[in-house]
Amino acid sequence: MQLLLASASPRRKELLALFGIPFGIHPADIDETMDPARPPEGEVARVSRCKALAVPRGPEDVVIAADTIVVCQGRVLGKPHSPREAEEMLSLLSGRDHQVMTGCTILAGDREKTFTEITDLHFRPLSPEEIRRYVDTGEPMDKAGAYGIQGGAALFCRRMEGDYYNVMGLPVCRLWQELRQLVPEMMEAAL
């Protein structure tokens, strides 16, 4: 029985390591396009499931896949494709409430669990200069919503309700609970 993470994200790797279980990295290469006509919490869960199913695995292996988006005023924000797009995303988030949604899927033999964890955040108003300086660091370019809460964007968040680690890309508390129910034999050796 092997634990497999369907992601190349250094943040997800770091967070999964908290469980104290050895795991392999097997990024899934899938089309992550979401249907804008469907609710984002369902679409992010669907994408996580597609990622999990795309990973080759043995019959005893356990696969964990995740996908994270930011939703503000009904608009889904993935990873920016350019510095200009990152600035636009951060301008939208400035002074507003938004949600970070992570869809997560666990496959274990014929057992499967998919869920979406949601964290509510509020950013203080940001000046155009602050946004430009932050984008110039390069940090926003590989992150949903164009920010990393564990980095420079920690200075932007006035309040948060929910799982902090969900905002980083892996809802560790909920994932831990789901793994304990789905694969208790694996989790006996954890932490």
CB 133 within 8 A of CB 115: no
Question: Of residues 31, 35, 61, 67, which has the active-site annotation?
Answer: 67
Q: How many other CB atoms are found less than 10 A from the CB of residue 161? A: 10
Q: What does DSSP say about strands 111-123 and 75-77: parallel, antiparallel, or unpaired?
A: unpaired
- Euclidean distance between CA atoms 4 and 171, whole angstroms: 16
Q: First vs last Cα of the chain: how many Å apart?
A: 17
Residue 67 annotated in active site = yes
Per DSSP bridges, beta strands 62-72 and 97-108 are antiparallel
Q: Where does residue 62 rank: exposed (0-12), middle (13-18), buried (19+ CB within 10 A)?
A: buried
Catalytic machinery residues: 67
